Amino acid sequence: MDLKTPLEKEFRLTPGHRTALKKMGISTLEDLLYHFPVRYGDTSQISHIENLRKGDSAVVFGTISGLKTSKAFIKKIPMSEAMVTDDTGKIKLVWFNQPYIAKMMREGANVRVEGKIAERKGDVYMSNPKIEMIKELPNAVGDSLFGRAGGDEHSMYPVYPESKGVTSYWMYHTVQKIFSSGVLDTLKDPIPENILKKYSLPGIKTAFIWIHAPKNTDDALSARKRFAFQEIFFIQLEKQKERKIWTKKSSFKIETSQKDIMDFVKRFPFEVTKSQMDAISSITYDFKRGYPMSRLLEGDVGSGKTAVAATTIYAVTKVQPVGMAGEKISGNLQIAYMVPTEILAKQHYENFISYFNHLPIKIALITGSECKIFPSKTDSTKPAKISKSQLLKWVANGEIPILIGTHALISKSVTFKHLAFVVIDEQHRFGTLQRQKLTTKNDLLPHLLSMTATPIPRTLALTVYGDLDLTVLEGMPAGRKPIITKVILPNEREKTYEEIRHELKKGRQLYVICPRIDEPDPTKELAVIAKSVKLEAERLDKEVFGEFTIDILHSKMTPTEKEDTMQDFLNGKTQILVATSVVEVGVNVPNATMIIIEGAERFGLSQLHQLRGRVIRSNHQAYCFVFAESNGQKTKDRMKALYTAKNGFELAEFDLAQRGAGELYGRKQWGISDIAMEAIKNIKMVEASRVEAIRIVEEDVEFKKYPLIQEYFKNLTEKIHFE
């Protein structure tokens, strides 16, 4: 037996086991060992219902019944009610302002309930407890359930992420059998011993035992710290290796003129901020170094990232190509500007024409539906539609300096003659492979500028973008009025609608954001009740804003339908757009100065901030109206942070601390496990792993002195996905 052995070779698996394990990505012994507990229970802390008294904080396991929604005794606020029963008695459960709880639970389900005991008229009940459905009741299968071989029993037990067909208990006992096989004795630690000692991290064998079968909380935390460090350390090694290799490659050496830059920024209809000028200076400095720039530009929506990109693009167009030996080359340096959507590409294209129309520079657009060139041969003030074949020919021979487009930019048919600079907007929406397609179409690699409005906490940026230099834009262009954010209580809804109607009559436009597209099926076990785009649009049209034109936008629409809907909104044909968060990265609609966000507690704070940024696009006063369905303290704290935070980065740090990086960003987006995401909260750990990774890469970029590191990368390429 070794860690690469398939589970089905060592254990008898039912069809249900196989389906569930496949769904969770578990096929080998190693996969199961790296499937860590999500938390730990303690059998010594389980309370019997008959012993509960007012003021107690208790954990109860039992069966739920009597699920219903009702109105509270005095204020008539909506609430959910239920009863939970164990071997010793039963107790009432009450959730105020959370009527959806009753629809999330299943009658007769086994549950774990945790909360404070309250009392009314002599009867005790649990008020707003945490509740989760579980497969089995710990006390239903006896104290020996988590007993260790040799009688070494203790009260902590692991609770694993489950899938239908495989229980947490099955995982625990299977892991124990793996431990008993002696396979852990064959493991070699991929983290160098000096690093383990330096940071007091347990070895890999000890860490596996402590994380799956801890005797105490300290053991469990120590093991989690070790595996979190391990993942971040290897991500840093990979990123630092990429950075090191990148600096050994050659790129166009671009000497820009400060006078040219200053002349260009004067053409903007706003005054460029100091932060924007600092960003421009950092980028143009990188251009001079002779190896490819790799820089991430972060900035809130509306902070002026596009102006920075346009200025640095202009600087590149003013330079004649130079070869490897310093000889001048005929033609133009070329720039590729890539954005996520067609409508955004078209809008950037129109903006760039206004920036560059005083210059003899050709600007082209390529999307899945059309190609354009500016200036037109028949009218030098306008663009003209051209065939894709003609555009590709001009790009290939270097006649077009600036090409703006969507993913069509990286199709095999697009080749550049002198691609010197690549700008990618909202870069986390494009993977490494797509970036690589753009950066391998010339012997000299282009400079790369990635831009994002997603506020990323510093620790996360240091990890997932460890191969990039980081520039942060601070502040907004002069003249922009701060957005007025209002957290709306249920009884203030009608008054808010009147305020919005007043602005709509002045010609302004409104976004309404809902968490769902369709209404949930209330018969489904875990249906979440939240406002939906379709029903809310219908309600607003019939009951509230019947005199205005309302349309909807969501992810299930076809690309053409989305484009048409946004174009109508941009042109003012539609006054109100009811949408999901698909508008988070969308077109610039300066006249849209108001946004309603329904079910705000269902969005991350960073996402709320980005949605709010949709209406900071002009010098008109902008408003954000936030409606939350929950009235809990956690929701209040988050809404207060949204109201008071100075910028998106402050909010991102708050969200990271409150909700956890896994909830905030999602493992699929960043390719980092939940345990490593938790570690992202620890700046010291991230910086320590970065320091050690840089030291090793500087010493030995190919890891020849570190065969176990080489082996780790070879074996776990499927386990750690770099972006």
pTM of the prediction? 0.74
pLDDT, position 672: 66
Whether 571 is covered by a domain: the verdict is: yes
CB burial of residue 358 (10 Å; 0-12, 13-18, 19+): exposed
Regarding whether 635 and 539 lie in a shared domain, the answer is yes
Give the per-residue SS3 of 308-366. HHHHHHHHHHCCCCECCCCCECCCCCEEEEECCCHHHHHHHHHHHHHHHCCCCCCEEEE
386 token code pair: 């051209």
Beta bridge partner(s), residue 486: 625
Regarding whether 560 and 411 lie in a shared domain, the answer is no
HSE, side-chain direction, 13 A CA sphere, residue 449: 29
Whether 411 is covered by a domain: the verdict is: yes
Weakly modelled stretches of the chain, pLDDT under 50? 139-152, 521-529, 661-668, 718-723
Whether 34 is covered by a domain: the verdict is: no
Regarding whether 371 and 433 lie in a shared domain, the answer is yes
The parent domain of residue 507 ranges over 484-646
DSSP character string of 227-271: HHHHHHHHHHHHHHHHHHHHHTS-B------HHHHHHHHTTSSSP
Boundary (domain end) residue, out of 119, 140, 161: 140
Whether 457 is covered by a domain: the verdict is: no
With tokens 């071989």, the residue in question is 149
Query: Residues for the chain: how many in total?
Result: 723
pLDDT, position 197: 96
Whether 370 is covered by a domain: the verdict is: yes
HSE, side-chain direction, 13 A CA sphere, residue 663: 15
Regarding whether 625 and 549 lie in a shared domain, the answer is yes
Rounded Cα–Cα distance for residues 271 and 130 (Å)? 52
Regarding whether 577 and 510 lie in a shared domain, the answer is yes
Boundary (domain end) residue, out of 140, 159, 191: 140
Total number of domains in the chain: 3
Whether 324 is covered by a domain: the verdict is: yes
**pLDDT one-digit tens code per residue, 539-554:** 999 999 999 999 999 8
pLDDT, position 438: 62
Whether 240 is covered by a domain: the verdict is: no
Beta bridge partner(s), residue 510: 576, 594
Residue 150 contacts residue 143 (beta carbons within 8 Å): no
Regarding whether 323 and 428 lie in a shared domain, the answer is yes
Boundary (domain end) residue, out of 140, 164, 195: 140
CB atoms within 10 A of CB 554: 21
With tokens 């710990």, the residue in question is 138
With tokens 């610039």, the residue in question is 588
Rounded Cα–Cα distance for residues 175 and 177 (Å)? 5
pLDDT, position 179: 94
Regarding whether 616 and 505 lie in a shared domain, the answer is yes
Angle, helices 648-659/605-613, rounded to nearest 10 degrees: 150
**Which three-class secondary structure state does DSSP give residue 471?**
strand
**Which three-class secondary structure state does DSSP give residue 451?**
strand
**Which three-class secondary structure state does DSSP give residue 142?**
coil
496 token code pair: 């808010």
Residues 6+ apart with CB under 8 A from 31: 7, 25
Regarding whether 638 and 545 lie in a shared domain, the answer is yes
Q: Are strands 156-159 and 623-627 parallel, antiparallel or unpaired?
A: unpaired
Residues 6+ apart with CB under 8 A from 107: 64, 65, 67
pLDDT, position 502: 95
Regarding whether 491 and 435 lie in a shared domain, the answer is no
Whether 238 is covered by a domain: the verdict is: no
Rounded Cα–Cα distance for residues 93 and 115 (Å)? 10
Residue 7 belongs to what H/E stretch? helix 7-10
350 token code pair: 């129109």
Regarding whether 362 and 274 lie in a shared domain, the answer is yes
pLDDT, position 430: 52
Rounded Cα–Cα distance for residues 723 and 721 (Å)? 6
Regarding whether 444 and 517 lie in a shared domain, the answer is no
HSE, side-chain direction, 13 A CA sphere, residue 492: 11
Regarding whether 399 and 266 lie in a shared domain, the answer is yes
Q: Residue 494 maps to which CATH number?
A: 3.40.50.300
